[in-house]
Amino acid sequence: MVSDMVLRKSTPVLGVEQIEPVLSFWKKLGLMTATEVPDTKANDGRLAFVILAADGIEIMYQTIASIREDLSKAASVKEAFPATPQQTMLFIEVTQLTQVENQLRGERLIMPRRTTFYGSTEVGYADPAGNVIVFSEHQAQT
């Protein structure tokens, strides 16, 4: 059966207490702020939402308070969303793993470089919010 629906894009939205601590992690890799939404309730310049992007990669962060507000009209929001930061694991393919390691020097390494059974070389870091980011360099297919 052929579906009329065509999936075009998927972008993770990571729920965090604060956005600002994660910005420098991604800027080290060349992702820049594409969209910022200020937290209008905080009145202190903090962000409620941000889109970071570069070269076809896009990652979004939203504060838990902002997510709660977005979902506040949902009847079963407490059941559907626990309203606490949830750890996420992202898997990102890269062209030069050594360059990623150099750019993230000083960040929290949680999975030292390894070679997998399927032939990729990987390394994992935690962003300042505690999300696991695994970077993977795949061997060229011959």
The CATH architecture assigned to 1-86 reads 2-Layer Sandwich (3.30)
Task: Quick: pLDDT tens for 30-79.
Answer: 999 999 999 988 778 899 999 999 998 999 999 988 888 877 766 565 56
Question: Looking at residue 121, what is its pLDDT?
Answer: 95
73 three-class SS: coil
Separation in Å, CA 4 to CA 1, 7, 11, 15, 52: 10, 10, 21, 31, 30
What are the structural domain ranges in the chain? 1-86, 87-142
Report, in this order, helix, strand and coil percent for the chain, each rounded to 5. 20, 40, 45
CA dihedral sign, ordered 15, 37, 26, 141? positive
Is 136:89 a contact under the CB 8 Å cutoff?
no
Question: Looking at residue 139, what is its pLDDT?
Answer: 79
CATH code for the structural domain at 87-142: 3.30.720.110
pTM exceeds 0.85 for this model: no
Res. 112 pLDDT band, cuts 50 70 90:
very high
Q: Which two tokens stand for residue 132?
A: 């696991």
